[in-house]
Structure 1
């Protein structure tokens, strides 16, 4: 697969968020099934050029295909398909009407293993820094089975069956992803540790105590790395702090951890909600949103203070995250920022709106950026 240089100038975060909002609205207008996402981590998203070259792809989309985002950056979507499917993929990608920036279509791509994957793609065209080089935001979904004309009762039964199939697919894919991560990461690490310990034991028997000690020290470091990797995998499935502490305490722990890792950053948390008042299905989403927002601020915002507020009124749960950095509209996104910053933010947006919430992101008048989410209770 030949690499293609990403377009210059790069995309703007405001345009990317606006494109996600338009894409989400257009998807909801097509029917309720369009709200489904393709991975337990969230929406499978990518940004491409008008020629189909991948500018950036988030972890969900890359994992769906069995790659990492870095491996796919600069490749053409048509290259991630079997030869007999490439013409159709290119035809779908080039079939763009300037008067209709949103469209949806089916493509067949190939994962790393060569397995053919039938995907439904929702696509929204949006402006880049170059008016003559628009970009496209893509969301990948594994479609549910379609049925012909049915009675309302039959339709309800088949819809329930289709959703059961979709959930089973998702569970199976998540098991495959975990198996691959455990095999490629933990499995190889444990094998290396075993070899180190065996080598150290042999050296001890030969009286080479210093060499054995060095090997054991290296094995200890490898064990520490493996523990960290295992914690990361477990945290992606369900943040452990949520189970042990509840959401307010988990958020407090997260904020303190960020403060400790960045000495020049102050994180202020104001939570006026009891854990029992927060709907169970929103807790993980809220934690992920705060986690992603903090990560983005630390990496990109050059801020000295972040204020997080979680409140409720009679009918809504309200979350806001505000920083005092220069503001997201002051600089465009570089291609290498798009996956970690831009697609992370619109992944949060999709997560909020998929639960019936409202997501906003604004540059503050006095500098900085505010990310807000609101859910009806």
Structure 2
């Protein structure tokens, strides 16, 4: 897999360095129109997107997981997500067959899911919740009847995928994920509902939306597989954290680099604006990059560096002195091409 596919977080980090030396450089600004991104869409038909064999293969992909502690149980989740619990009532009102979700009912609670690495408010709308409702094990529900009910009550609705406890449904430009699990320990029915749909102002390819939905279904299916929780984060499969849309964005930039590299000297930076993604990526080719790379490479894995107080890594601190988003960093994974960096125990680059 090519460098910018494998190291998207490093790309966002290293190529946005704005050190003092860089401020002296000339900048070549490159606007990238939306149609550039669509060149990276394959020509598969919609029927191929929803092929059940390919869906199952996607759901079985390994990713980077961690154990998270919630109010009523521990869960297994990808590091790309964070969670916000609410034990109070809410305005949620939904019905799925015999299952009624009503935030006013006693015992109701929910967990909101936020994707740290997808700025969805700019390109698409995402709403993802785990709902918990009191439920006796003797009560039943039928996933196929729920799918039939959804198909009958929603206008122009298509059922794209069904298994023993999951449904993906909706229409082109909007996908819903429904996943249902009974939790014996707390006598609650867990209903995961996810919505991925186009932002009214942006056109997002069908394949991108659907791959986002599959990632959310994978989250729900593995949420209680805590017996598989790693003792520490294993970064072996970090490529699977990257969404399909993100891969296309960086493939676009990657393919433009050779063209511009032959036209300009090394003492220049390229500032790319991906207009349908609102992302600025700064690419630098001078010795500053080598200083940053060598400085980071000299730091042992799992060593924390406070960029304000640390007195040991002076060269690295100097190289990063204007990168104000970083305060305390920890290199958690290295390859011969780059690094994954944890910043303030919260976000990875």
TM-score (norm 2): 0.26
- Indicate the structure whose relative CO is greater, using CA pairs within 8 Å and at least 6 residues apart: 2
Larger strand proportion of the pair: 2
Larger helix proportion of the pair: 1
